[in-house]
Every structure is written in C-alpha cells, then in structure tokens.
Amino acid sequence: MINIEIWASGGGTNADKILSYFKNIPHINVVSLGCNRKDAGAFKIAKKHNITSYLWDKQSWEPSTIIKELNNREIDFIVLAGFLKLVPKEVIQAYEGRIVNIHPSLLPKYGGKNMYGDYVHQAVIDNKEVQSGITIHEVNEEFDKGKIIAQFSTSLNSNDDIKDLKNNIQSLEHQHFSSIIHSWIMAKSE
C-alpha cells in the first residue's frame, strides 16, 4: 500500500477531486489532509471523505515535527493541492522527489514567491497572454522551480477577466491533477 497525504490552504476543491479519484485505486491510500489555515474549507472536504485532518499551526510547523508526524502516518508521498506555505527544506530533503505541487500557470512564467491564485491570473491578463494553463511539478527548495511533470493549457479570449481565467484553470486542475499524481506515483514506485 502506498500512502499519500494532501496539504491544502483553501477551499479544498482539488483535494476533493483527488480524494474521490483515489477511492477507486486499491493500492494507493490517501491517509490524511493537513492545512495551515484553521478556517479553510479543506477541513470540510476531509470530513466529507472521512479522512483524518489536522492543522499545521506555528508550533507544529517545525521540520523535525513535520517529518516525525509524516513518519508516524507512514506517508510515502505528499500532494500540495493549493498549499500556500513554504515547505521547509528539511522536509523537502526527507521527501526528495516525493512531493508534488500544482501551479496555476505554465511555468516558468508567473511562478515564484507571491505568485499564486488571483495574483497569477491578474499578471497573465495584464500581460495580454493568449494562453495560460497549469503546471504539475515536483517540489524542490525554490518556489515553482521543481522538475515539471506535466503541463496543460487553455486559450484566453481578449475579453476574459480573472474570474473567467480562474474557472478555466480550475477546470484543467480538476480534469488532470489526480490522474497525473497517480501516474507519477506509479513511476516513482517502480
């Protein structure tokens, strides 16, 4: 059995899709969901899917504590699904090549510190890009610089606003993220 843990910061729509997807995969188990915001909707998603959830607060967000907790839960892979906190380098080193993230742009464009959510979409629109998309990548010690696993794009119309772009990007995320995670885990587990 391969155990994965999801980390999220917001509403948990990607976490919801991932949990639904992996319910049908017998050899991969989503053990738990961690969140760094006590009011995040992701907690409701965890409850809906009957999995353990917990808050990464300031006290527990220490590298040694994180690694100990992950080891206690026998976590093999970590999935960042809208997780906005920088993962400590010690955790990245302990889980090297086993942490995956999704980013709402076609990296390397519009990546890095403070480039998330609507900030990315606004920059894409401000620069009059004709296409945007998502990047699924491994996590390393630099924001959004890890090995790219997959990218999917969508075209922009000249009259698209942030809401339009956000909806298109979220649709791509929901369509592709879970299956790419699955393929990536299987390739890493061979």
Instruction: Give residue 82's domain range.
Output: 2-189
Q: Does residue 103 have an active-site annotation? A: yes
pLDDT in tens, 177-186: 999 999 999 9
pLDDT of residue 184: 98
- Domains in the chain: how many in total? 1
C-alpha pair distances (Å), 52 with each of 4, 24, 31, 137, 188: 12, 18, 7, 25, 25
pLDDT of residue 58: 86
**Catalytic residue from among 103, 121, 137, 176:** 103
pLDDT at 4 over 90: yes
C-alpha pair distances (Å), 31 with each of 1, 115, 142, 176: 11, 29, 27, 21
pLDDT in tens, 35-81: 999 999 999 999 999 999 999 988 889 999 999 999 999 999 999 99
CA neighbours closer than 13 Å in the CB half-sphere of residue 92? 16
**CATH code of the domain in which 138 resides:** 3.40.50.170
